[in-house]
Amino acid sequence: MPEATSKQAVTNGGVIAVAIGAMNVATYGFTIIAARALGPDQYGAFAAVMNLLMVVSVAQLALQATAARRISSTPGDVSVIEAGIRRVTWLTAIVLGLSLAVAAPLVNHLLRLESLLTALLVGAIAVPLTVMGGQAGTLQGERRWRPLAVLYAAAGVPRLAVGTALILWRPEEFTAILGVFIGALAPVAVGMVALRHRAPHDAGPSDEDHGFRALFRELGHNSQALLAFFAVTNVDVILARSVLDNADSGLYAGGLILTKAVLFLPQFVVVVAFPDMADANERRRALRLSLGAVAGLGVVGIAATYVLSSFALVFVGGDQYAAIEERLWQFAILGTLLSMIQLLVYALIAQRGGRATWLLWGALVVIVACSPLTGSIMSLLVLVLAVDTVLLVGLLVPVVFFGGRPAGEPVAGGAAE
């Protein structure tokens, strides 16, 4: 790689890192404020809704991955891809939002929210959340890092500002989720402005099918992989509402604030590396460097949490969560495992390797099946750590095997068209 190109890659990575850092700091800042304002009992319900939204966001992330992979691999088809992604994005957003609105009574019952309006907000949030995915994927595939950075920042900062104002006015899970909805509108507005003009590409058109059916087929494959990942990532806080009492489920949810912080700390690595992971010529190098970076950041996070547990407790929610202070470094380990698993899942998506997703579904089944055997915060955490460790090792095998596949060769079980 030429020196100028290397410097540009570092600059682009820095821009995305700062933007995603701002998004994550704002997002978790709001989460910490919510944890303090609501207290363990109400925060348990808020956390359950937020984790459900993370599962719902698989459509957003699948759209982003689909758009980014297609545009980065066939830049000469960008106009056709953009038009198709736009149609698929809006259709998916509307269908998902209406489906969740219909399911609101069930969500209200399962999460014990005691607020149908809060459950209805989940469907409302799903619409802008999904639209953002198509916009972000288009910008990512075109490697338009600066507009993408602004979009990411807009996904966090307005939530912090509006959500904090609402939750301080009325500390209830409904106002907290309402702040999330209002904040979700901001990145969509940024995406609409950024995509009014498209950056030119010199590459000629390809023979790849970018039709409506082909886009939905790839979207389906990507959604399945990401749904499995986010289900594995978030199922424990939902199960905690069933196997633990309200206070302990709130404490467990508080520990997961740190887990999610460690999980999303290296998110910029995935964003910048994904286009290269879709390129057979750059795949091995991108995987090696990105996996090392994610693991390194995780080790730093674990060590810092162990040494500075009292400081970390402040970011979890303060003295109300002191009962889990000595276990916070274990929640950091969980976040590191999940961040490495996330990178491997995106590597499989970039390589269009579909069969390995059964490992994710298998891990989910094991966690759900074994959760009734747990009855404490520690036993539930140990169960999740053990399953995720086995999952990480299992995913390394197909990623390494497919990592050297020549360009153009289809991946077994993938979505090759």
The model's pLDDT over 204-261, given as tens digits with 9 standing for 90+, comes to 555 565 667 778 888 888 888 888 888 898 888 888 877 887 788 888 888 888 888 8
pLDDT the model gives residue 409: 42
DSSP letters spanning 267-292: HHHHHHHHHHHTSTTTHHHHHHHHHH
pLDDT the model gives residue 3: 46
Backbone φ and ψ of 322, nearest 5°:
-60, -25
- Domain positions in the chain are 1-197, 211-417
Contacts of 310 (CB under 8 A, 6+ apart): 325
pLDDT the model gives residue 417: 33
162-190 mean pLDDT: 91
The mean of the pLDDT values for the chain is 82
Alpha helix locations (H) across 111-208? 116-141, 145-154, 157-169, 173-194
pLDDT the model gives residue 8: 59
pLDDT the model gives residue 274: 84
Q: How confident is the model at residue 408 (pLDDT cuts 50, 70, 90)?
A: very low
pLDDT the model gives residue 406: 40
Q: How confident is the model at residue 350 (pLDDT cuts 50, 70, 90)?
A: confident
Give CA torsion, residues 78, 79, 82, 85, to 10 deg: -100
119-146 mean pLDDT: 92
Q: How confident is the model at residue 2 (pLDDT cuts 50, 70, 90)?
A: very low
On the question of pLDDT at 123 being above 50, the answer is yes
Q: Reduced to 3 states, what is the DSSP secondary structure of residue 153?
A: helix
Least confident range from 55-64, 67-76, 129-138, 408-417: namely 408-417
Q: How confident is the model at residue 79 (pLDDT cuts 50, 70, 90)?
A: confident
Q: Above pLDDT 70, what percent of the chain?
A: 88
Query: Which range, 47-51, 125-129, 347-351, 394-398, is most confident?
Result: 125-129
Q: Above pLDDT 90, what percent of the chain?
A: 29
pLDDT the model gives residue 403: 52
103-127 mean pLDDT: 88
Phi/psi region, residue 106 (left: phi>0; alpha: psi -120 to 50; beta: rest), is: alpha
Q: How confident is the model at residue 354 (pLDDT cuts 50, 70, 90)?
A: low
Query: Which range, 47-61, 316-330, 403-417, is most confident?
Result: 47-61
44-66 mean pLDDT: 85
pLDDT the model gives residue 199: 55
Closest listed residue to residue 70, CA positions, set 226, 261, 211, 210: 210
Spatial contact of 275 and 72, defined as CB atoms under 8 Å apart: yes
112-124 mean pLDDT: 87
